[in-house]
């Protein structure tokens, strides 16, 4: 049993070069906007200009270490390689 969450996201390349190996970070915030936790995901393969790809990011813990209570989350692309 897990006490986490799965984030479903669309990653869109609005630029003019192809991306590969996109690293994404999710930050969880409480009602006051205070940071409470984070997780990350990695999207393999390429995303060409004007293309969109879907991904799922598994976040959070287990019975002994659950994901803290949160109100909202943000998603940010942290890194990608270009071709």
Its pTM stands at 0.84
Sign for the pseudo-dihedral over CA of 70, 76, 80, 83: positive
DSSP string, 4-50: EEEEEEEEE--SSS-EEEEEEEEEEE-TT--EEEEEEEEEEEEE-TT
Is residue 64 very low, low, confident or very high in pLDDT (cuts 50, 70, 90)? confident
Instruction: Judge contact between 23 and 77, C-beta under 8 A.
Output: yes
In angstroms, the CA 6 to CA 79 distance is: 21
pLDDT at position 66 over 60: yes
The 10s digit of each residue's pLDDT in 5-38 is: 999 999 999 999 999 999 999 999 999 999 999 9
**Pick from 12, 1, 21: nearest CA to 52:** 12
């Amino acid at each position: 049993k897990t006490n986490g969450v799965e984030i479903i996201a669309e990653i869109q390349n609005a630029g003019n070069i192809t991306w590969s190996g996109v690293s994404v970070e999710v930050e969880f915030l409480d009602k006051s906007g205070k940071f409470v936790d984070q997780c990350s995901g990695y999207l393999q393969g390429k995303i060409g200009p004007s293309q969109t790809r879907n991904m799922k990011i598994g976040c959070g813990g287990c019975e002994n270490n659950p994901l803290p209570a949160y109100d909202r989350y943000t998603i940010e692309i942290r890194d990608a390689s270009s071709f």
